[in-house]
């Protein structure tokens, strides 16, 4: 599997378009698009970057159970070589990586039953993987949307669709040891059509997008209070939160990424948008203040994304490669 960098947009906010080429496929092509935004830095981003001698970035290709695993988070000039992992039955839009235990979390469909699968020794894994441990989700969940791991609190958040009854958000304790059919410690009924969600664990908040109706929400875990958040002229989809700066990033489906400051406050403010054609999902790297934007067969990267304070457009060459049909959200060291 190969990721190829395209071009740099600005000095402070580096916008890269990467292509992920599965090892089993070859060839490639190119197309054009636009992305970009810059601003002045007002805060110093975290500088502690996790290191690894093996796989450290996990990029799922949705729909075929393939995950690209790469040995670096810093994809700079040239190409970065990775390996291909096969997770049979993988569903949902993302994977999660617990670096301390070297575990990769994913959801798999085992017949009619959805399960959380945990794969050991993820940093050195390659080829077809077998779970070291699994636990079952409620049978009423017919389609899992996404999982979010909080390794500090040892919790796993799971969102999924319930047949003819909207969506559910489940919170599991003891994620590092769960087996069998554990009982969630919290359960929330969301509006129908939950598209994506992200967790600010420190503030006890979940932000999620829905498509029936199309809205952006803020859910308080302690009380269950669910409030809508304004996303200017936005059809919200992918979400990612920068908890340290109280910033929320939201995809306006297939168009751009909105930047919302003061996300947890009484008056969140949509301050900027970054145009990325075909944008769908987001992954935020809190260690490096880096935002990954999944856009079909392409992935955009914005470094120093906290510096984005205003909407500015900039041309960007977009590289397309055969093999990656639909990029999900990445698993990064947590």
- Residue 17: the pLDDT is 44
- Residue 324: the pLDDT is 60
- Residue 81: the pLDDT is 59
Q: What is the pLDDT along the chain (334 residues), one digit of tens a residue?
A: 554 443 333 333 444 444 443 333 333 333 333 344 333 333 443 444 444 469 999 989 998 999 988 888 875 544 445 788 999 999 999 999 999 999 999 999 988 899 999 999 999 999 999 999 999 999 999 999 999 999 999 999 999 999 877 899 999 999 999 999 999 999 998 777 899 999 999 999 999 999 878 899 999 999 999 999 999 889 999 999 999 999 999 999 888 999 999 999 999 999 998 888 889 999 999 999 999 888 887 788 888 888 888 765 433 444 343 456 788 999 999 9
DSSP code string of 319-331: EE-TT-S-B-BPB
Distance of CA 234 to the CA centre of its chain: 19
Locate the domains of the chain by residue range: 2-320
The CA-atom distances, in angstroms, between 111 and each of 59, 91, 142, 261 are 24, 12, 11, 42
- Residue 71: the pLDDT is 87
DSSP label of 94? E
Q: What are the residues facing 15 on neighbouring strands?
A: 302
- Residue 12: the pLDDT is 38
Task: Report the chain's C-alpha Rg in angstroms.
Answer: 19
- Residue 45: the pLDDT is 39
Please tell me the distance from the alpha carbon of residue 269 to that of residue 95, in angstroms, as a whole number.
Answer: 30
CATH topology assigned to domain 2-320:
Methylamine Dehydrogenase; Chain H (2.130.10)
- Residue 76: the pLDDT is 53
The span from the first CA to the last CA of the chain, in angstroms, equals 23
């Amino acid at each position: 599997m190969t990721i190829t960098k395209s071009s740099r947009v600005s000095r402070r906010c580096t916008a890269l378009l990467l292509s992920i080429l599965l090892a089993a496929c070859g060839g490639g092509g190119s197309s054009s698009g636009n992305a970009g935004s810059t601003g002045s830095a007002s805060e110093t981003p975290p500088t502690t970057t996790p290191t690894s001698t093996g796989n450290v970035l996990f990029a799922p290709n949705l729909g075929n159970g393939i995950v690209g695993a790469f040995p670096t988070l810093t994809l700079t000039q040239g190409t970065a070589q990775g390996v291909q992992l096969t997770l049979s039955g993988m569903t949902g839009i993302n994977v999660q990586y617990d670096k301390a235990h070297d575990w990769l979390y994913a959801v798999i469909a085992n017949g009619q039953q959805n399960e959380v699968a945990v794969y050991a020794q993820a940093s050195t894994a390659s080829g077809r993987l077998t779970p070291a441990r699994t636990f079952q989700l409620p049978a009423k969940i017919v389609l899992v949307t996404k999982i979010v791991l909080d390794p500090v609190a040892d919790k796993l958040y799971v969102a999924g669709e319930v047949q003819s009854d909207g969506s559910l958000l489940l919170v599991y304790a003891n994620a590092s040891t769960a087996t069998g059919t554990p009982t969630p410690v919290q359960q929330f009924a969301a509006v129908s059509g939950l598209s994506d969600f992200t967790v600010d664990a420190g503030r006890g908040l979940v932000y999620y997008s829905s498509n029936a109706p199309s809205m952006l929400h803020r859910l308080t875990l302690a009380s269950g209070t669910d409030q809508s958040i304004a996303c200017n002229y936005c059809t919200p989809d992918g979400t990612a939160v920068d908890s340290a700066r109280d910033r929320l990033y939201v995809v306006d489906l297939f168009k751009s990424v909105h930047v919302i400051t003061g996300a947890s406050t009484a008056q969140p403010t949509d301050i900027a948008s970054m145009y990325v054609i075909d944008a769908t999902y987001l992954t935020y790297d809190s260690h490096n203040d880096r935002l990954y934007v999944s856009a079909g067969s392409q992935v955009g990267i914005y470094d120093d994304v906290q510096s984005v304070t205003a909407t500015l457009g900039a041309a960007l060459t977009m590289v397309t490669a055969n093999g990656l049909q639909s990029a999900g959200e990445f698993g990064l060291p947590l």
